Structure 1
Amino acid sequence: MTTAWATADPYAKALRTGQGPLFLRRTDGWLLPLEVERWCARADEVDRQVLDHCEGTVLDVGCGPGRLVAELAAQARAALGIDVSEAAVAHTIRLGGQALHRSVFDPLPGEARWDTVLLMDGNVGIGGDPSALLDRVAQLLKPQGLLIAETAPVDVDERVHVHLTDARTTSGAPFPWARLGTPALLRYARGWERERQWSAGGRSFVALRTRTRTRTASNSADPPNRTAVISSQRARKPSGESPVADR
């Protein structure tokens, strides 16, 4: 997502209250409801099933209010959330999780050494360019690392520009977003090995594994389980492309 998401008043309000309504609105007026109440609640049974599949250190990209990071922390598992929303990062920390105020395209701790990366709650749409996002995730994971992504429960492959709105107030500039069903994600996942796919509770998931290859990560990268702090860093444009940010 872009900085527009991070600074949008309807989103910050929804996180404060734990309630919607909240939508992504396409330029043609179509609304995609966002599940604020579920995001702000504790991890449910479907979430915990996903977390059971995670290996080693876990990076939750676009962690939102932090239910997954907090659940992993409660299980004494090493996990870090990143999000461009300061309100989301603060909420995650209040729940007992570790989180950083970063875009996935910013420099991140533990690059090329994470065991698992999560793209949940529609975050396969970050930046509106699935191939670029998958390439970036591959840079973050160690060889044979695991990506667990939540996909749309329908067969869709859509790239759009959207606004964030509560149906009363719309804030910020439109930002690029994508909606992907499982077939679409698998088409973009060239160079990845499909490990499994499944559905639970009306939600769909795919587990992909990176193939072993030579990496050029900096030797000075921080370990992934280091103590996290809120950064003042804003989301930036990756390599001159459209601005992207997390949920």
Structure 2
Amino acid sequence: MSSPPVTPRAWASADPYAAALRTGRGPLFLRRDDGWLLPLEVERWCARADEVDRDVLDRCEGNVLDVGCGPGRLVAELAGRGRTVLGIDVSQAAVEHTVRLGGQALRRSVFEPLPGEGRWDTVLLMDGNVGIGGDPRALLDRVAALLSPGGLLIAETAPVEVDERVQVAVVGLIDSGEADLPFPWARVGTRALLAHAQGWRPSGQWTAGGRCFAALRSRSANNSADPANSTAVISSQRAAKPSGDRPVADR
């Protein structure tokens, strides 16, 4: 197993990111160290789940963990359906937004201890979150430890075939000069994700609305999760408030 990457605090404290989530508007970018910019879809993230999102959520099984939940549109949609769901994000602004929408969320990195480890039926890595930590194999290993045996991972991949590990910073207006310390990130297309997914079983791939997705099954086909126990674990977090000194943002 790869060593887990150090979760960057840069995104967590990124003023451009927090400001964008609070206003629901961009522009916002990931800027590579060579100056290349990746636009971030703040308006879509802060809106309600769209048709493409809802199709993904229709595929979810059992209790769901949304890793890097951002402002919480997917958590809120699943909660509205009466599903057991928890979002995690290292951004305080993201967690607060998710809670305001009626979802449950914790300010937590995916590489920190989490409730229900080994008992989640579905893990979501949406909106480019396969890039978290800059090491796709380490992230997949961690997700496997979170899932129940035979559990389902649904990941949104890059819309082009790419497999790169880079240093990026969150920036707002291009000419504002406002940026944060760089942190490791990855961009992974579907083919590259499948190549990194050693020990996983491919369960489907599709495109919709210009977005690309892949579904993978964890190592064992024997799903032994106890839904009642998993639900109890999540419910125990309902009154907990995010810790202000935790590292922020998986997004």
Check whether TM > 0.5: yes
The answer to whether 1:155 aligns with 2:161 is yes
The answer (yes or no) to whether the contact 1:79–1:225 under 8 Å persists in 2 is no
Amino acid across the alignment from 1:39: W
**Which whole-Å CA distance do the structure 1 matches of 2:158 and 2:12 have between them?**
22
**Pairwise CA distance, 1:213:** 8.4
State the match for 2:237 in structure 1.
Answer: 227
Q: Counterpart of 1:170 in 2: which secondary structure?
A: coil
* Residues 80-129 of structure 1 deviation map (CA, whole Å, 9 limit, x = unaligned): 00000000000000000000000000100000000000000000000000
**Which whole-Å CA distance do the structure 2 matches of 1:226 and 1:141 have between them?**
19
**Pairwise CA distance, 1:169:** 4.1
Distance 1:105 1:76, change over 3 A: same
State the match for 1:129 in structure 2.
Answer: 135
The answer to whether 1:59 aligns with 2:37 is no
**Which whole-Å CA distance do the structure 2 matches of 1:227 and 1:8 have between them?**
26
**Pairwise CA distance, 1:173:** 1.2
**Pairwise CA distance, 1:212:** 1.5
**Pairwise CA distance, 1:2:** 1.6
State the match for 1:35 in structure 2.
Answer: 41
The answer (yes or no) to whether the contact 2:92–2:107 under 8 Å persists in 1 is yes
**Which whole-Å CA distance do the structure 1 matches of 2:219 and 2:235 have between them?**
23
1:170 aligned residue (173, 178, 185): 178
State the match for 1:183 in structure 2.
Answer: 191
Q: Counterpart of 1:132 in 2: which secondary structure?
A: helix
Q: Counterpart of 2:161 in 1: which secondary structure?
A: coil
The answer (yes or no) to whether the contact 2:171–2:180 under 8 Å persists in 1 is no
1:246 aligned residue (231, 241, 250): 250
Structure 2 unaligned runs (5+)? 1-6, 223-228
**Pairwise CA distance, 1:211:** 1.8
Q: Counterpart of 2:179 in 1: which secondary structure?
A: strand
Aligned residue pairs, count: 236
Percentage of identical aligned residues: 71
State the TM-score, normalized to the length of structure 1: 0.91
* Mapping of residues 72-151 of structure 1, within 5 Å: 72-151=78-157
